[in-house]
Amino acid sequence: MEKAKDFCLPGIDENGKEINFCLKDYLGKGRDIILYFYPKDDTPGCTTEACDFRDNLNTLKDYGIVVGVSPDSIESHKKFKEKYNLNFILLSDPEKKVMQEYGAYGEKVMYGKKTMGVIRSTFIIDSEGNIKKAWKNVKAKGHVEQILKFYGAKK
């Protein structure tokens, strides 16, 4: 099994408080980390995906903690969180360093054109720091359902 790359990023916790999130601090607690990368706060696809995580958090939290990462600022995350009542951790990776380490940033094709950008991806990291499952280029709508199926959970 591939080891998840350790990282520390600034962000906000589920209550909107500013934090410095280090992956290693969340390992060893017997729960998975559901780490998802998304392009931009308050855009249609990213809002759909975030609200899907929000609406299914009661089920998901039986398996792990949800952590969303985008290049947006902490201020942007706060507005996004408040606007949609998001109930999970949001982290800021403006230099896209962590995204690159996880292969969640790079060349992608949009409307037939190649561009550089965030590749919507999710990683399930177990409490030992192993990547149990990785999804790349996911669709915003219906992705949380894939995660629930992975865990054998009912929606």
> What integer pLDDT is reported at residue 55 of this predicted model?
97
Can you tell me the mean pLDDT for 104-132?
Answer: 92
Is pLDDT larger for residue 154 or for residue 147?
147
On average, the pLDDT of the chain sits at 94
Nearest alpha carbon to residue 46 among 7, 90, 105: 90
> What integer pLDDT is reported at residue 99 of this predicted model?
97
DSSP string, 71-101: SS-HHHHHHHHHHHT--SEEEE-TT-HHHHH
- Catalytic, 46? Answer yes
Q: Which residue in 8, 22, 46, 51 is the catalytic one?
A: 46
Instruction: Please write the tens of the pLDDT for every residue from 82-93.
Output: 999 999 999 999
**Packing angle, helices 74-84 and 44-55, rounded to 10:** 60
pTM: 0.95
> What integer pLDDT is reported at residue 153 of this predicted model?
82
> What integer pLDDT is reported at residue 108 of this predicted model?
83
User: Is residue 154 scored above 80 in pLDDT?
Assistant: no
User: Is residue 25 scored above 90 in pLDDT?
Assistant: yes
Instruction: Please write the tens of the pLDDT for every residue from 32-56.
Output: 999 999 999 999 999 999 999 999 9
